[in-house]
Amino acid sequence: MITFQNVTKTYKGSTVALRDCSVDIEKGEFVFLVGPSGSGKTTFIRLLLREEVPDSGRIWEAGKDIGRLSNARIPYLRRNIGCVFQDFRLLPNKTVFENVAFALEVIGRPRHVIATQVPQVLDLVGLSKKRDNLPGELSGGEQQRVAVARAFVNRPLILLADEPTGNLDPKTSLGIMNLLDRINRTGTTVVVATHDAGMVDHMRRRVIELDRGVVVRDQARGVYGIDQAVAAAGAGSPTGARVLEAPAGPDGPTARPVPRRGSRRGAIRRPPLPVPDAGTEEA
Shortest reach from residue 124's CB to another protein, in Å? 17
The footprint of another protein on residues 104-123 (CB under 8 A) is 105-108, 110
| Nearest-approach distance from CB 138 to another protein, in angstroms | 17
Residue with Cβ nearer another protein (72 or 267): 72
**Least Cβ distance, residue 164 to another protein (angstroms):** 14
Number of neighbouring beta carbons within 10 Å of residue 115: 11
Q: State which of residues 13, 37, 70, 72 lies at the interface with another protein (CB under 8 A).
A: 72
- Are the beta carbons of 183 and 249 closer than 8 angstroms? no
Query: Which stretch in 86-94, 120-128, 196-204, 244-252 sits in contact with another protein by CB under 8 A?
Result: 86-94
Residue among 18, 66, 83, 216 that touches another protein (CB under 8 A): 83
250 in contact with another protein (CB under 8 A):
no
Does position 261 interact with another protein (CB under 8 A)? The reply is no
By beta-carbon proximity to another protein, the closer residue of 146 and 258 is 146
Cα-only R_g, the chain: 19
The sheet carrying 189-193 orders its strands as 81-85, 158-162, 189-193, 30-34, 206-211, 214-219
Residue 91 contacts another protein per CB under 8 A = yes
Residue 16 as a binder of another protein (CB under 8 A): the answer is: no
Q: From the CB of 78, what's the least distance to another protein, in Å?
A: 4
Window 29 to 58, contacts with another protein (CB under 8 A): 49
Of the candidates 70, 133, 75, the one whose C-alpha atom is nearest the C-alpha of residue 103 is 75
* Residue placing its CB nearer to another protein in the complex, 91 or 275: 91
Q: Which is nearer to another protein, 1 or 16 (CB)?
A: 1
Binding of residue 62 to another protein (CB under 8 A): no
Binding of another protein by 75 (CB under 8 A): yes
Do the beta carbons of residue 10 and residue 17 sit within 8 Å?
A: yes
Nearest-approach distance from CB 48 to another protein, in angstroms: 12
Minimal distance, residue 87 CB to another protein, in Å: 11
Side by side, the strands of the sheet bearing 64-65 are 15-25, 2-11, 56-61, 64-65
**Torsion from C-alpha of 52, 72, 2, 16, nearest 10 degrees:** -10
Q: How far apart are CA 74 and CA 53, in angstroms?
A: 12
153's torsion region: left (phi>0), alpha (psi -120 to 50) or beta?
alpha
Q: Which residue of 102, 155, 252, 269 would you call a contact of another protein, by CB under 8 A?
A: 102
Under the binding rule (CB under 8 A), the answer on residue 103 touching another protein is yes
**Residues forming the site for another protein (CB under 8 A):** 49, 71-72, 75-79, 81, 83, 89, 91-92, 102-103, 105-108, 110, 150, 154
